[in-house]
Structure 1
Amino acid sequence: MPRGSNAKRERQYEHIKDSVEGRGESPKRAKEIAARTVNKNRARAGESKTASRSSTQDISSQRRGGLRSGNRQGPQGPTRDQLYNEAKKRNIKGRSTMTKKELASALGR
């Protein structure tokens, strides 16, 4: 638990730690995530002596809800089926054997 915390932050820390462990993370990783989250919330509330700009100006950890974790590739565009249907409307030959990339190329994307 981070130093200089109050009862609310201790409850928050335990809740986050238990939640992360429930998702299957190791106890060490759960403690790290919980401590980072609580420290960021303390910084946003003005409860810490020093705080980074990203801690105070970025969206809160709870609101973000993992937007920055996992798949970092971003949107992949239309699906293969959507491209296929557009190719069908344009009467492109050989569309049934084309891959998503080939369909996009044939459609001029």
Structure 2
Amino acid sequence: MGFSVTSTVEKQDHSGVVRESVTVDRQYPFENHRECILRVLRDQGMEPFDLWVYYYGVGGSLGDFDIEAYLFGLMPLPELEHLLLIEATGEILSDNPQTP
């Protein structure tokens, strides 16, 4: 089981007309999401705290130490928080579509 993120980023002018649209499709063929998320962070040159900022922005409620503990296999996450962490990872990729 892997991890695939497809995101579309649209830039609009002041009247709401889409001027640019970029689709990002990343495949992360790992067995567990922790490894996938850590690879995304490494690929983006980011730290777990940076992921936490995105996670908090999409509605996550755990602290940055909890997210770091999850990423390094020290604790599980509740299902909702896990889904929000995956959403945050997708947001990171959407914000950085030029990175291979």
Decide: shared fold, TM above 0.5.
Answer: no
Please give the range of the TM-score, normalised by the shorter of the 2 chains: under 0.3
TM-score by length of 1: 0.26
Which structure dedicates a bigger proportion of its chain to helix?
1
Q: Which has the higher contact order (CA 8 A, sep 6+)?
A: 2
TM-score when normalising by structure 2: 0.28
Max radius of gyration: which structure?
1
